[in-house]
């Protein structure tokens, strides 16, 4: 079996508050091979961003990974020292964020901010770092890159700033890039530009990507594998084609059904999932989705389902009692045992 670059295993991230600890995500597991792109989807409040920030260990003063392991290149990121983690951040793992308007420091020039990471991790001199930064800006399609180096962020459009963020993130040739809603704040024609750029850069390097988004259209365009998160847990994992063609979890089905399509004619109503994502403070017992699930049974109210494998390859996993029972029945019939 191919070596995994990242192995996230049963991670639980908690935040300390005045009233004790609140669990934000738990039971998050997935693996990523070098060069692979994985998408994390789900609605806001499902723990997508917390998952990525747990990998980067940028959870702030109050958050930490309480249980589970995050193996990156053989090192457990949940356990290594802060100094070791700093060596990895921006170097082997880098990140781009949702808001290009606020993610760059308004009082320093683009050049200053670009060169910071380059000088820190690549140990280049000032002049070399500057030339390298200009080269990076060119590679992400920024015109007049030398002049842009001396500009402040406010002089650039949202799309241009996101290109700068990408150039900054890729400058140390990371093995893993985490993109947290990289195009959500952008207009659709600019989004298309950025996605094309990311595809182009991906094909030139062997960087693995974790793409976090709520837009199923974006994942359909970009990723190899998808994990669907709901209320802080992974509820389904599959390769992108399987997930869209044959979703198993009712939440995944609802998400896919609720997107208005433009490529097909559609007269019928959109499928909508009633209610809203439960808050961290009062998570439902049993299956967390049961409050919004039309198929919920007595068992779903009581017992929490596990993330189980649906096929022999172990690529398609789901956390749902119904899917589990269905899979069990079909295996019985085919006399295939786990």
Partner 1 sequence: MSLPTEIKIEKPSKERTGTPLLEINNLKQYYPIKKGIFSKTVGHVKAVDGLSLQIYPGETLGLVGESGCGKSTTGRAIVQLEKPSEGEIIFDGKNISNFTNREMRSIRTELQIIFQDPYSSLNPRKRIGDLLSEPLLFHKLATPSEAKKKVEDMLEIVGLPKSYRNRYPHEFSGGQRQRIGIARALILNPKLIVCDEPVSALDVSIQAQVLNLLKDLQNEFNLTYLFIGHGLGAVKYISDRIAVMYLGNIVEIAKTEEMFKNPKHPYTLALLNAYPVPNPHLRGRQRIVLEGDVPSPANPPKGCKFHTRCPIAQSKCREEVPVLTGVHHSVACHFPIN
Partner 2 sequence: MFQYIIRRLLIAIPVLLGVTIFNFFIINLAPGNPVDMFVNPNMSAADILAKKEALGLNDPLWEQYGRWMGSMLQGDFGYSFATYEPVLDNIAARIGPTLLLMGTALIIAYLIAIPVGILSATKQYSFIDYLTTTFSFFGISIPNFFLGLGAIYVFGIVFPIFPTGGMTTLGSSGGFVDTFMHLVLPAMVLGTAIAGSMVRYVRSSMLEVLGQDYLRTARAKGLREFFVNNKHALRNALIPIVTIIGLEIPLLIGGAVVTEQIFQWPGLGQLTIQSIGSRDYPMLMALNFIAAFTVLFSNLLTDLMYSVVDPRIKYN
Q: Does 329 help bind partner 2 (rule: CB under 8 A)?
A: no
- Please provide the DSSP assignment of 200-269 as one string: HHHHHS--EEEEE-S-HHHHHHH-SEEEEEETTEEEEEEEHHHHHHS--SHHHHHHHHTSPPSSS---SP
Q: Does 275 help bind partner 1 (rule: CB under 8 A)?
A: yes
Q: Does 48 help bind partner 2 (rule: CB under 8 A)?
A: no
- Residue 263's φ and ψ, nearest 5 degrees, are -85, -15
Q: Does 142 help bind partner 1 (rule: CB under 8 A)?
A: no
162 CB-contact burial (10 Å; exposed 0-12 / middle 13-18 / buried 19+) = buried
**Stretch of 1-9, 66-74, 99-107, 262-270 contacting partner 1, by CB under 8 A:** 262-270
Q: Does 106 help bind partner 2 (rule: CB under 8 A)?
A: yes
Strands in 208-212's sheet, in edge-to-edge order, are 93-96, 176-180, 208-212, 37-41, 225-230, 233-239, 317-318, 308-309
**Stretch of 6-14, 62-70, 215-223, 304-312 contacting partner 1, by CB under 8 A:** 215-223
**Stretch of 89-97, 138-146, 193-201, 288-296 contacting partner 2, by CB under 8 A:** 89-97
Q: Does 244 help bind partner 1 (rule: CB under 8 A)?
A: yes
Nearest Cα neighbor of 35 from 275, 202, 221 is 202
Find the binding residues for partner 1 in span 14-53 (CB under 8 A). 43-44
Query: Contact letters (x/-) for partner 2, 135-174, by CB under 8 A?
Result: -----------------x-x----------x--x------
Q: Does 138 help bind partner 1 (rule: CB under 8 A)?
A: no
The count of other CB atoms within 10 Å of the CB of residue 11 is 24
Question: Quick check: 138 and 145 in contact, CB under 8 A?
Answer: yes
Among 263, 294, 298, 335, binds partner 1 (CB under 8 A): 263
Nearest Cα neighbor of 28 from 233, 180, 209 is 233
Tell me the closest approach of the beta carbon of residue 180 to partner 2, in angstroms.
Answer: 10
Question: Quick check: 227 and 237 in contact, CB under 8 A?
Answer: yes
Binding site for partner 1 (CB under 8 A): 43-44, 157, 159-160, 187-193, 195-196, 214-218, 220-221, 240-241, 244, 254-263, 265-266, 269-277
Binding site for partner 2 (CB under 8 A): 56, 58, 86-91, 94-95, 97, 99, 102-108, 116-117, 120-121, 152, 154, 165, 168
């Amino acid at each position: 079996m191919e070596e995994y670059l990242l192995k996230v295993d049963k991670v639980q991230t908690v935040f300390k508050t005045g009233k004790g600890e609140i669990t934000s995500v738990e039971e998050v597991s997935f693996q990523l091979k070098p060069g692979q792109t994985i998408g994390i989807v789900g609605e806001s409040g499902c723990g997508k961003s917390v998952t990525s920030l747990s990998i980067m260990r940028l959870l702030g003063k109050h958050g930490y990974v309480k249980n589970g392991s995050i193996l990156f290149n053989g090192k457990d990121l949940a356990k290594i020292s802060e100094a070791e983690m700093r060596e990895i951040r921006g170097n082997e793992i880098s990140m781009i964020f949702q808001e290009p308007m606020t993610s760059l420091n308004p009082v320093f020039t683009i050049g200053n901010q670009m060169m910071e990471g380059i000088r820190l991790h690549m140990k280049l001199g000032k002049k070399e770092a500057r030339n390298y930064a200009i080269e990076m800006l060119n590679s992400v399609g920024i015109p007049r890159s030398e002049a842009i180096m001396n500009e402040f962020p406010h002089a650039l459009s949202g799309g241009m700033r996101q290109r700068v963020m990408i150039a900054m993130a890729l400058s140390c040739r990371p093995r893993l890039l985490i993109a947290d809603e990289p195009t959500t704040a952008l207009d659709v024609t600019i989004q298309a530009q950025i996605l094309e750029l990311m595809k182009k850069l991906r094909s030139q390097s062997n960087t693995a990507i974790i793409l976090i988004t709520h837009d199923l259209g974006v994942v359909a365009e970009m990723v190899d594998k998808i994990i669907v998160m709901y209320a802080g847990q992974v509820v389904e994992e599959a390769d992108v084609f399987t997930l869209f063609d044959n979703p198993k979890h009712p939440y995944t089905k609802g998400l896919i059904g609720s997107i208005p399509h433009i490529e097909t004619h559609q007269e019928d109503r959109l499928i909508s999932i009633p209610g809203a994502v439960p808050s961290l403070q009062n998570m439902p017992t049993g299956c967390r989705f049961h409050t919004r699930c039309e198929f919920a049974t007595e068992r779903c109210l009581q017992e929490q389902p596990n993330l189980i494998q649906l096929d022999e390859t172990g690529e398609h996993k789901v956390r749902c009692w119904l899917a589990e029972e269905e899979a069990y029945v079909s295996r019985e019939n085919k006399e295939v045992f786990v």
